[in-house]
Structure 1
Amino acid sequence: MISSLNQFLGGELVRIISSALVIVVAIILNHLNVRYQTSPARAQAKRGQGRQQLVLIKNVIILSAVSFIVMIWATKIAGVAISLSAFAMALVLSTKELIMCITGYTMFAMSRPFNVGDHVALSGIQGLVVDVDLLNLTLSETNGSHQITGKTIILPNSVLLTAVITNHLGLGAFVVGTVRMAVPYAVNRQAFSDIAIATATQICEPWANDSQRHFQRLGSRALLEAPSNKVEVFWEPVDTKQHWVEIRFLVPVAQQEHVAQLIQNQIWEQYGEELAAVNKA
């Protein structure tokens, strides 16, 4: 009876149950951590510090859970590692790409940098995420206005390990749009800034309040400062003839390119001759 009990307590079933409990406890603790750190009162009082604590505690929970699971399976892992080390080395070398694809999918499942339906830019390719399986990522190619071109792109999940990923819908329904123009030094900076701000503000007025509320909600959840819904103009010297002027504004994701063109066209109507002088000089 005692020997049977010892075998049961040291068997795989108990290890599996113990591992599952560790994972469940880790998930619950992380959920409580997020709720505590993102509570309205704390988010307003300690926004920057709260974000650091949120990430720190999350990493501690993950590291502790992994450590406990390794301890639970330590004897099994040691035995298997010794007996299969040579075989594992050969297997890794022969299935490197397959392992990288599965690892890429695992990283995607854990961090969720994007979801199916998001518009992403990945390794210079932009598209709508159609499917993510164990080995491949499928994109439906889109243009600058997020319109589908009809092309389907399939990438191995291994690119998720090294590629720079831009999620155009990571901020939700609104993003920070920009217009970049070359302006000669001869143009009055204050007058041009006033015209640019007035033009962009008028065009963006229909969604100004909605976009501000949207970014405030995101800022509260992520413990980050939300961008202002006010149009901003930034000047950057280029050479002895002209500035680069960047106009920033909040805009619905699907209207980025259209709104940028409207702003440029209206500014050009007032400063067309002076801006054209850049190319003539």
Structure 2
Amino acid sequence: MWQTLQQWLAAVPVSSEIIQSVLMIISLLALRSILLSAHFRSHPELELESKRRSLVVSRNLTLILILLGLAMIWAAQIQSLALSMLAVAAAIVLATKELIMCLSGSLLRAVTKQYSVGDYIEINGMRGRVVDINLLNTLMMQIGPNALVGQLSGQTLSFPNSLLLSHSVRRDNILGPFVIHTLEIPVPVHLDSDAIIPPLKTILEPMCQPHIQNVSRYLKNVQTEKLFITPAAQPRITRVPFDDKVYKIIVRFAAPVEKRLEIQQAVLDEFLRVQYRLLNPSSN
């Protein structure tokens, strides 16, 4: 009989799974009705609440059996569909991986407020002033090409926002209109630092002096409002060993953003003059 039924199902121009599903659902519903009727007839003393409970339990059990039956009948098709959907999902993720990372980086920047238009930043060796930000990338005017040259080169740099997920961002003007600027000057190890630092101080300190009071007041306000640990506003020049060929002079000063390049260049000019005199004592 079962073989005859299978032959009949194969001859019907409708998917055998559909027919099997319909027959299975009808059979389970009919079986539920028969069992409920028999249960109620054999227990005529049941209260309404008990009958209602039996209806709910039988309905839920029938629903579970129907779902299990459909899963068994359509197992092959479900497996093929799941594999297809998994392949499509994997392909979509692979194709849009960079896009997703860029959007994630953009969200990270917006949440953490790492930088905005007009800020001076450095990321992955790229340094510049931000001029445009969108969901996918950041555009900035390049500063350089030398690290000690803070002027705009006239060229633009664009980087995907996905870099924000894997690289740190250095922002110069975190203190708003003022900046704590640091530059490193490599010096040949045989040149006496005591002969270099005093001339640099005579250039640095007078140029920073007009701004120290305003910078100190601003830094104090920032420390009170944002609970930042702010550095001192006084200019400092220190020296540190580097290797057997050079040591480094570290120049740190506070100034308005628009004045830092002027002060830095004045210090570098004076250093070059002092270095020339030390390397060429006969020309003095």
TM class by shorter chain equals 0.5 to 0.7
Q: How many angstroms apart in 2 are the aligned matches of 1:182 and 1:154?
A: 34
Structure 2 counterpart of 1:121 = 122
Structure 2 counterpart of 1:73 = none
Report whether the alignment pairs 1:215 with 2:219: yes
Report whether the alignment pairs 1:173 with 2:177: yes
Question: 159-168 or 241-250: which moved more?
Answer: 241-250
Offset from partner CA, 1:77-106 (integer Å, 9 cap, x none) = xxxxx9x98354443223211211111111
Q: Is the 8 A contact 1:174 1:253 kept in 2?
A: yes
Report whether the alignment pairs 1:205 with 2:206: no
Q: How many angstroms apart in 1 are the aligned matches of 2:216 and 2:189?
A: 33
- Which of the residues 255, 260, 268 maps onto 1:256? 260
Q: Percent identity, please.
A: 25
* 3-state DSSP of counterpart to 1:102: helix
Number of residues of Structure 1 aligned to a counterpart in Structure 2: 194
TM-score by length of 1: 0.58
Offset from partner CA, 1:42-72 (integer Å, 9 cap, x none) = xxxxxxxxxxxxxxxxxxxxxxxxxxxxxxx
User: Cα offset for 1:257?
Assistant: 2.9
Q: How many angstroms apart in 2 are the aligned matches of 1:113 and 1:129?
A: 12
Cα RMSD (Å): 3.2
Q: Is the 8 A contact 2:196 2:274 kept in 1?
A: no
Structure 2 counterpart of 1:59 = none
TM-score by length of 2: 0.57
User: Cα offset for 1:176?
Assistant: 2.2
| Unaligned residue ranges in structure 2 (runs of 5+) | 1-81
Q: Is the 8 A contact 1:203 1:263 kept in 2?
A: no
User: Cα offset for 1:110?
Assistant: 1.0
Q: How many angstroms apart in 2 are the aligned matches of 1:170 and 1:137?
A: 18
Structure 2 counterpart of 1:229 = 233
* 3-state DSSP of counterpart to 1:110: helix
* 3-state DSSP of counterpart to 2:262: helix
Q: How many angstroms apart in 2 are the aligned matches of 1:215 and 1:270?
A: 33
Q: How many angstroms apart in 1 are the aligned matches of 2:265 and 2:280?
A: 20
Structure 2 counterpart of 1:187 = 192
Q: How many angstroms apart in 2 are the aligned matches of 1:240 and 1:90?
A: 55
Structure 2 counterpart of 1:16 = none
Larger radius of gyration: 2
Change (3 A) 1:201 1:181: farther
Change (3 A) 1:160 1:184: closer
| Unaligned residue ranges in structure 1 (runs of 5+) | 1-81
Amino acid at match of 2:203: T
* 3-state DSSP of counterpart to 1:93: helix
Query: Which structure is richer in relative contact order (CA contacts within 8 A, separation 6 or more)?
Result: 1
Q: Is the 8 A contact 2:189 2:244 kept in 1?
A: no
